[in-house]
Amino acid sequence: MIFGTAFSVLFPLFAKIGLGYVLRSVGFLSQKTLKEMNNLIFRVFIPTLLFSNIYQTDFATITSFRLLWFSILSILVMNAFFMVFIPMIEPENRRRGVMVQGICRSNFIFFGMPMAVALFGGASAGLASLMVGVVVPMVNVTSVVALEYFRKKTPNFGMIIKGILLNPILIGGFLGLVCSITSIRLPSAMERVLIEIADIATPLALIILGASVTFTSVKANRKSLILAVAGKLLIVPAVGVTISILAGFRGLELILLMSMFASPAAVSSYTMAQQMDGDADLAGQIVVFTTAFSLFTLFFWITSLMGLGYF
């Protein structure tokens, strides 16, 4: 059952990535088209997706403040650690930001809620939605900071702040947060259009990722790729889940935290890296390989925690 749940979450992602790869292979998508589509996804579709998710989150119902603050603190500490650690082992700036993002930015939005609902039923969706509303904006902010910080050989803090303020994904998340907190409601027709556009974002991003990612540089990226995959699926979950247990989290809260730590790299990592002068090939490979191996690592984490009686 658990393996089947993980597979049911992962297979649709791989199917769309595979479709993109086939479309490029048969010549349906040119490099010019892929570049334009990646730009469109970064500037329109993903910001709309983030706006829609946060806009629909009811922050007034928050009761698990301890869980949410723990999540925020975990994300900040994790990013700060890898911002210091990665430059010690990776000499190339274009890879540094990509590796920090790949290790710290999880695909929680597509794994947290499905895992929670599969293990705890539909009643868990409310808390999972609140986690999405808090975790997703946070990991987007920290990812932009990492990519902007390592964009140049010498960090320009003025450019970093400008890059954060003008980042379309963060603008979409901020507007969604403002609307949600202030209870501003858009006309129903506009809400429907935004939700429909948001529904397109992830399938389109996966297809374009599959069409864009190349494996010719896997050998050259081997060291960075192995470290990023191991960090994302093994090291971060091992440390994060252990601290969560010691902090007293159990049941649904623990499964949500486990999903945040152990989920594969976010699909939008590739698009953001490409648009912000990071090593897009490495970013795409991190997404593909963490997604592939997460089928087994998530199974391991879930069965281990269940076997130990934590949920």
Could you give the C-alpha distances from 108 to 112, 157, 161, 183, 252, in angstroms and in order? 5, 29, 26, 25, 15
Counting the structural domains of the chain, the total is 1
Among the listed residues 198, 262, 211, the one whose alpha carbon sits nearest the alpha carbon of residue 233:
262
Tokens (6 digits) for 172: 């979409």
Does the structure show a pLDDT above 80 at 232?
Answer: yes
Does the structure show a pLDDT above 90 at 212?
Answer: no
- Give ∠ CA 80-256-10 in degrees, rounded to 5: 95
Q: What's the pLDDT tens digit per position in 127-157?
A: 776 787 778 788 888 988 899 889 876 666 7
Domain CATH number, residue 99: 1.20.1530.20
What's the confidence (pLDDT) of residue 122? 61
What pLDDT band is residue 103 in, cutting at 50, 70 and 90?
very high
Q: Which of 41-55, 159-173, 255-269 has the lowest mean pLDDT?
A: 159-173
What's the confidence (pLDDT) of residue 9? 63
Complete DSSP assignment for the chain: -HHHHHHHHHHHHHHHHHHHHHHHHTTSS-HHHHHHHHHHIIIIIHHHHHHHHHHT--GGG---HHHHHHHHHHHHHHHHHHHHHHHHH---HHHHHHHHHHHH-B-HHHHHHHHHHHHH-GGGHHHHHHHHHHHHHHHHHHHHHHHHHTSSSS--HHHHHHHHHT-HHHHHHHHHHHHHHHT----HHHHHHHHHHHHHHHHHHHHHHHHH--STTTTTTHHHHHHHHHIIIIIHHHHHHHHHHHTT--HHHHHHHHHHHHSPBPTHHHHHHHHTTS-HHHHHHHHHHHHHHHHHHHHHHHHHHHHTT--
What's the confidence (pLDDT) of residue 242? 96
Between 289 and 120, the more confident residue is 289
The pTM assigned to this predicted structure is 0.81
CA–CA distance, 127 with 64 (Å, rounded to integer): 8
Backbone angles phi, psi at 183, to 5 degrees: 60, 30
- Give ∠ CA 161-287-271 in degrees, rounded to 5: 45
Domain that holds residue 199: 2-307
Q: What's the pLDDT tens digit per position in 10-27?
A: 677 778 888 998 998 999
Q: What's the pLDDT tens digit per position in 246-262?
A: 999 998 899 899 989 99
